[in-house]
Amino acid sequence: MTIISRDYMSVINKQAGRMSLKTEHGEAELLYRIRGKVMVIYHTFMPVEDRGYGKAAKLAKEAFAFAKKNGLKVRPDCPYIGHFVEEHKEYAAELV
């Protein structure tokens, strides 16, 4: 019997303007633009079957870490990111 670790699904792939991670049901993504000193997060997607397990929050946390590391503020144009910040007040100071 072969057991495959699910850890591979928690690896976040980063490209300019995009962060993603593989899930059991596809790929989750967070899209952003850099405008001056602002990281505009304008889209997130999570396969329906993978919602509610903290995977989107993992992408959001990575995006906020990226913004902080690069001296950027975050503008949450995506509804999920607004909801995320409401649930995780510690990120509110990072918003524009």
Q: What pLDDT is recorded for position 12?
A: 94
Q: What pLDDT is recorded for position 3?
A: 37
Domain count, the chain: 1
Length of the chain, in residues: 96
- CATH number where 34 lies: 3.40.630.30
Structural domain of 67: 6-91
Digit-coded pLDDT (tens) for 63-93: 999 999 999 999 999 999 999 999 999 999 9
Total Cβ atoms within 10 A of residue 91: 20
Please indicate, yes or no, if residue 96 is contained in any of the structural domains: no
pTM reported for the whole predicted model:
0.87
| Amino acid (1-letter code) at residue 47 | P
| In contact, 37 and 21? CB cutoff 8 Å | no
Please indicate, yes or no, if residue 1 is contained in any of the structural domains: no
Strands 73-76 and 38-45: parallel
The whole-angstrom separation of Cα 95 and Cα 91 is: 7
Please indicate, yes or no, if residue 47 is contained in any of the structural domains: yes
